[in-house]
Amino acid sequence: MLRLLTIEYHKLRYSKSARLLVTTYFILITFIALIASIEFKFGGVEFRVADQGIFNFPYIWHFNSYIAATLKLFLAIVIVSMMSNEYTNRTLKQNLIDGLSKKEFILSKFLTVLSFSLLSTVFLFIVSMILGLSFSDYTEFSIIFSDLEYLLAYFIKLTGFFAFCMFLGMLVKRSAFALGFLFIWWIIENIGYAVMKYKLFRGTEIADNIAQFFPLESMSMLVKEPFSRLNVIQSAATQLGSEISKDYGIHWYQLLIVGIWITLFVYFSYFLLKRRDL
């Protein structure tokens, strides 16, 4: 496996666009720290974002995982380009001529996907630890390391999304078209959900139960929005006579659904490569 990763590393190493996108992605994750310096003034009252508890343990794991996941498109472009460049530069055929099997080729791409996801998760863990230890009101060991399942969900979410991008890159062969197809698929999922929610199964939870099996929606549900968990939002809702009741937890069946999609995307990629005339 190390040999396969080394091959992919050398391909990405000499790609200026890949280096730029990867660097930008990790820089933007570190910019989460800038949120702490944001201040608002309403009349004579100063409002500092960091004082609202967004960097408190264990909430920070949820908040940072959600924010960092919104930046995944940068690495998705690298994954799609990585696949399309194999056809454009004819390196795919050369790899096979040099003795790499089709199974090893797909495995090398998936190992790269896992590496990106793992590196991003470790980096997010380090950034979150630094921010939490700097700003959190709670620094007890048991509190710090509770809710770490959000990092697991973040890792699975990235792996699923990148595996989907890998499959699209293999399917379409062109980066722009693959990314366009990704956007169109997102629209299709949303239209399908809206039709079920407001036309076919109005007033029931059937639409939500079905939508959780959609590829992009299943990944999205792993780390739900964290903002309504904030005390200031909860207090505001209470004062307005309403109550926010939402399930923010990470459930095993959600991880399983995305895991199945990951397996299918890898298999479909291999199936395409195996059947395609190179």
Q: Residue 5: is its pLDDT beyond 70? A: yes
The rounded distance, in Å, linking the Cα atoms of 261 and 160 is 7
Model pLDDT, residue 64: 92
Contact 79, 162 (CB under 8 A): yes
Model pLDDT, residue 246: 78
Q: Which helix (H) or strand (E) holds 118?
A: helix 102-135
Contact 60, 54 (CB under 8 A): yes
Contact 112, 82 (CB under 8 A): yes
Model pLDDT, residue 237: 63
Tokens of 22: 């990867």
Contact 122, 114 (CB under 8 A): no
Span 2-27, average pLDDT: 80
To the nearest whole number, what is the mean pLDDT of the chain?
85
Model pLDDT, residue 138: 83
Query: Between 246 and 65, where is the model more confident?
Result: 65
Amino acid at 191: I
Q: How far is the CA of 208 from the CAs of 152, 212, 217, 248, 270, in angstroms?
A: 23, 6, 10, 15, 31
Contact 161, 168 (CB under 8 A): no
The rounded distance, in Å, linking the Cα atoms of 262 and 266 is 6
Tokens of 269: 């990629």
> Which of 218, 187, 173 minimizes the C-alpha distance to 82?
173
- Phi, psi dihedral angles at 242 (to 5 degrees): -125, 170
Alpha helices of 40-97 — where are they, by DSSP H?
A: 59-69, 73-88, 91-97
Sort 112 into a burial class: Cβ within 10 Å, 0-12 / 13-18 / 19+: buried
Model pLDDT, residue 241: 62
Span 219-238, average pLDDT: 79
- In the 8-state DSSP scheme, what is residue 196? I
Alpha helices of 136-174 — where are they, by DSSP H?
A: 141-144, 149-172
Model pLDDT, residue 39: 61
pLDDT by residue (tens digit) across 114-126? 999 999 999 999 9
Cis ω before 58 (30° cut-off from 0): yes
pLDDT by residue (tens digit) across 169-189? 888 888 888 889 999 999 999
Model pLDDT, residue 84: 82
> Which of 175, 180, 146, 154 minimizes the C-alpha distance to 258?
154
Model pLDDT, residue 69: 92
User: Which pLDDT band, with edges at 50, 70 and 90, does 166 fall under?
Assistant: very high
Span 15-32, average pLDDT: 85
